[in-house]
Structure 1
Amino acid sequence: MCRVVDLKQAVLAKNEAAAHALRTELTARGTVTINLLSSPGSGKTALLERELLLARERGLSVAALTADLATENDAVRLARSGVPVKQVLTDGLCHLEAGMLGRHLDGWLPESTRLLFVENVGNLVCPASYDLGESLRVVLASVTEGEDKPLKYPTAFGLAQLVLITKTDIAEAVEFDEDAFRAHVQQVNPGVEVALTSARTGEGIGILLDRANAVANGAATHTPVMAGQGAGPNGHTHGPGAGHIHDHADGQGHGHADDHEHADGRAHAHPHAHPDPDPQAQARPIAVQTR
């Protein structure tokens, strides 16, 4: 007798279970996780460094985990803030998963951590489909990326609980149409907050920290319409704590082996339906010493 298994649902269901367990564990210890998503080059590392410095000045207990396909560059930059930082190298995987995150937090994350910032792999496709057990999902977009970005990546922006526009100091030079961008965000995610930031001038610095701290204090977060639908624009239902199914624009669903082009332009075939992956094959942690 032949049994048909929907691998994409099985893989994502496994991730949802891991995300729920991780969220429960972190919440019990008083830690709120913030998942930061953006395309490569959006400036999220620069912005996060400023926010971590501000958190330290305010005496808030924070930590940051940053994920990349290669190099420790981002962790080195973030470590300048003086807070605990950990680099995870995904060795080609285009996103973090809840189980992977949990393994790298185990034995590293200080017990007193109030806010954990997770800088996801630079990519607006795959990471959007994976709940990491976060309590706040933030999507960033720079003024250089174009006003139609939310329409091109409706799942990423449609599931955001906060949207940050970065590099506003050069908005005029690149003729960024802020009104059009805001309208497009509202089209895919009605009611979500959109804020302006610049790591260079300091505009908007503190907004991310304030919103994250508010969640830690029990404030309600924005509930995306897409999170409550049977399926979003990409055949996807998702949000912190919600189940989802995700399909790529080409119709290839996550959950089976497919040739997938990553943020660095390399094609990479990866079977997402691995039963119980070796954590060392998934990612290599690099602890960065801080003062």
Structure 2
Amino acid sequence: MCATCGCSDGPGVRVIDPAVQHDHGGHLHGGHGHGHSHDHDTPAAGVTVALEIDILARNDDLAAVNRARLAELGVTALNLMSSPGAGKTTLLERTIRDVGAELPCTVLEGDQETLLDAERIRAAGARAVQINTGAGCHLDADMVAEGLRVLAPAPGSLLFVENVGNLVCPALFDLGESARVVIMSVTEGADKPLKYPHMFRTADLVLLTKVDLLPYVEFDVDAFVSGARRARPGVEVLEISATRGDGLAGWYRWLGAHPST
């Protein structure tokens, strides 16, 4: 049991290359399962805090190893975080098709189950590895390290890590990324940066997606931008539509300006 958020991130985790594994009716066959186990008993409050500190410290150490490995390869790794349905996978499909020839891309897909998103990425033309977290609500540095071993991104490439859909726990875990991109759609409510400030506080870029739907939903763009910049002063906010193409030139410019660090 993960002490930071209460999720299980142990034996249920699988890292799967969809090129060699298959999803049969939602049941995955093959892949990698981590051997570590977790205590499912509820500890006392003081013990919980100590476990949280220990878990995050260990994660940070592993993230530093990932970051060094990626920097050595010259790979730019972007941690994409959002709630479910914000449009991360659709944006990646469009990005791969539009600029994949100039910016070679690979993807680590994080979901609790299925290979659906990884298959969509492969169909768009990029190499993808699926990380299924079971009951886990976020990726961590250990999962990403295993995913990198399987994916083997090419030197100088762009690596997208599509985190599990969740506006809380993913913000806590450094994966070794070069930058963090927080994605939110106009169908979710302009108050989300105020309700989930830690997620937006970690953002290097905020993408407001599905702006083609603005005529049909009640969404205050100015209030959203103000809330995002209240959490992260000065953060760049881009308004985009992956289906219609609005704002994508700015997104692609941002990608080209962010080499690995």
TM bin (shorter chain): 0.7 to 0.9
1:125 to 149, 162, 168: 168
Larger relative contact order, structure 1 or 2 (CA cutoff 8 Å, min sep 6): 1
Q: Secondary structure at the match of 1:215?
A: coil
1:181 CA displacement: 0.6
> What secondary structure, in the 3-state scheme, does the structure 2 residue paired with 1:194 have?
strand
Contact 1:168–1:196, Cα closer than 8 Å, also in 2: yes
Q: Any idea what the Cα deviations from partners look like across 1:194-232, whole Å, max 9, x if unmatched? A: 0001111111224334323211177xxxxxxxxxxxxxx
Inter-CA distance 140–60: structure 2 relative to 1 (3 Å threshold): same
1:151 — aligned with what?
194
Report 1:206-285 matches (<5 A).
Answer: 206-216=249-259
Higher alpha-carbon deviation: 73-82 or 190-199: 73-82
The 5 A counterparts of 1:193-212 are 193-212=236-255
- 1:78 aligned onto 2:121: yes
Point out the structure with the larger helix share: 2
Shift of 1:121: 0.1
Number of the residue aligned with 1:277: none
> C-alpha displacement at 1:28, in angstroms?
0.9
Give ranges in structure 1 of 5+ residues lacking alignment: 219-291
CA contact (8 A) 1:18 1:99 kept: yes
The answer on 1:178 being equivalent to 2:221 is yes
Asked if the contact 2:183–2:208 (Cα under 8 Å) also holds between the matched residues in 1, the reply is: yes
Distance 2:260 2:51 in 1: 38
Runs of 4+ residues deviating >4 angstroms: none
Match of 1:63, SS? strand
- Aligned partner (choices 107, 120, 135) of residue 64 of structure 1: 107
Helix, strand or coil: the match of 1:8?
helix
**One-letter amino acid matched to 2:161:** V
Does residue 40 of structure 1 match 2:84?
A: yes
CA distance in 1, matches of 2:50, 2:236: 36
**Which residue does the alignment assign to 2:73?**
29
AA aligned opposite 2:253: D
Q: Distance in 1 between matches of 2:199 and 2:52?
A: 18
**Alpha-carbon distance in structure 1 between the residues aligned to 2:139 and 2:213:** 31
Partner Cα distance (1:156, 1:216) in 2 = 23
Asked if structure 1 preserves the Cα contact closer than 8 Å seen for 2:82 and 2:184, the reply is yes
- The residue matched to 2:198 in structure 1 has which SS? helix
Cα distance between partner residues in 2 of 1:55 and 1:113: 15
Match of 1:14 in 2: 58
SS in 1 for 2:106: strand
How many percent of aligned residue pairs carry the same amino acid? 46
**Alpha-carbon distance between aligned partners in 1 of 2:154 and 2:116, rounded to the nearest angstrom:** 26
TM-score of the superposed pair, with normalisation by structure 1: 0.71
TM-score of the superposition, structure 2-length normalised?
0.78
Amino acid aligned to 1:144? T
Matches of 2:233 and 2:207, distance apart in 1: 15
- Cα distance change on mapping 1:33 and 1:108 into 2, 3 Å: same
Distance in 1 between residues matched to 2:65 and 2:256, nearest whole Å: 22
Q: Which amino acid aligns with 1:37?
A: M
- One-letter code of the match for 2:92? L
Q: For the residues of structure 1 that align with 2:136 and 2:142, how far apart are their CA atoms? A: 14
- Whole-angstrom CA distance in 1 between matches of 2:243 and 2:153: 30
Q: Return 5+ residue gaps in structure 2 as ranges.
A: 1-45
Q: Secondary structure at the match of 2:56?
A: helix
Aligned-residue offset at 1:103? 1.1
Question: For this pair of structures, how many residues does the alignment match?
Answer: 215
